Amino acid sequence: IKRRVHGSDGTKKKEVFTVQKLEHEMLTQYERFLQLLRKLSRRNHPEQQALGSRLCAKLVGVASEFNHSDRLLILAVDYANNKVTRVAQPCQEALAELLDGQMITEATDHIVGAILAIVKKQSYAVNLKILNILLHLRVAMVDMHRKDLTEEKAKEKKMKKEDKELARQMQKSKARRDRAELASKQTTIIHRLFVVYLRILEAAKSCSKQHQARILAPCLEG
C-alpha cells in the first residue's frame, strides 16, 4: 500500500510541475504580447497602431483576469489618447464599456491614474474624447450605516441564539469594512478627477478662445 501511495504522490507532483511549467510559459508569452502592443503603439504608421489598439481592446474587458492588468489598462489609455480616430476608438469604447459594467475597482483606479499621468505630462494636449471615458465612472455616495443588502441571515434553524447574533455582527462588521474601503477608494479617485479637470482648465488659459471653448465643454460636463 505504501508503494502505491508513493507512486500516486509522484504522479501528482509531476502533474503539478507540468501545470506550473505551462502557466509559466503562458505568462511569458503574454508578457511578450504586451511588449508587442507597446511597440505597435509607438509605430508611425496609423494602420499598425490601429491593429495594436484593436488587439488591446479585446483584452480590456477581462483585464482583471490577467497578470499585469495595470500595464494593459495603461496601454489601453495610451491608445485611446491617440489623435487618429481609427486608432483611438477601439480602446475608447472598450474602456467605457468596462467602466459601465462595474463599480469602483482597481481597474478604475488604473484608468483614472493613467489619464491623470497623461494630463500631467502633456497638460491640455490630450484627445478630448478621452475625457468622455471619465463620464462612465460609477461613483456614488456610500452610506456607512445602511443595512447591507447582501447580509445573509443564519439559515440553520438549530443554531443557538448567541451564534446567530455573533454571525450577524460579524457579517455587519465585514459589510462596514467593505464600504469603508470603497469610500476611501472613491475619495482618492474623485480627487484625481478634480486634478485632471483643473489642470486641463488651467493649461487652457494660454489657448485661443476657440480652443478654450472646445476644452471647456467636456470638462464642465465631467
CA–CA distances in Å: residue 76 to residues 58, 91, 117, 127, 176: 10, 6, 13, 13, 34
CA–CA distances in Å: residue 200 to residues 144, 213, 218: 33, 12, 10
- Using DSSP's 3-state secondary structure scheme, residue 79 falls into helix
pLDDT of residue 51: 95
pLDDT of residue 122: 67
Region 51-80: what's the mean pLDDT?
A: 91
The single residue listed with the C-alpha cell 478662445 is 209
Global pTM reads 0.72
- pLDDT higher at 93 or 141: 93
Spatial contact of 133 and 110, defined as CB atoms under 8 Å apart: no
pLDDT of residue 208: 80
Classify burial at 23, counting beta carbons within 10 Å of its beta carbon; exposed 0-12, middle 13-18, buried 19 or more: exposed
What would the pLDDT profile of 120-159 be if each residue is shown by its tens digit? Answer: 886 556 788 888 899 888 876 555 455 544 444 444 455 5
pLDDT of residue 163: 61
Looking at residue 187, its amino acid is T
| Cα–Cα distance, 109 to 105 (Å, whole number) | 7
Other Cβ atoms within 10 Å of 171 Cβ, number? 16
Other Cβ atoms within 10 Å of 173 Cβ, number? 10
Looking at residue 88, its amino acid is A
What would the pLDDT profile of 31-54 be if each residue is shown by its tens digit? Answer: 999 999 999 999 999 999 999 999
- pLDDT higher at 139 or 24: 24
pLDDT of residue 173: 61
Q: Is the per-residue pLDDT at 84 higher than 80?
A: yes
Report the Cα 205 to chain-centroid distance in Å: 32
- As a residue count, the chain comes to 222
Q: Binning pLDDT at 50, 70 and 90, where does residue 16 land? A: confident
pLDDT of residue 149: 42
Q: Is the per-residue pLDDT at 201 higher than 50?
A: yes
Region 163-170: what's the mean pLDDT?
A: 60
pLDDT of residue 46: 92
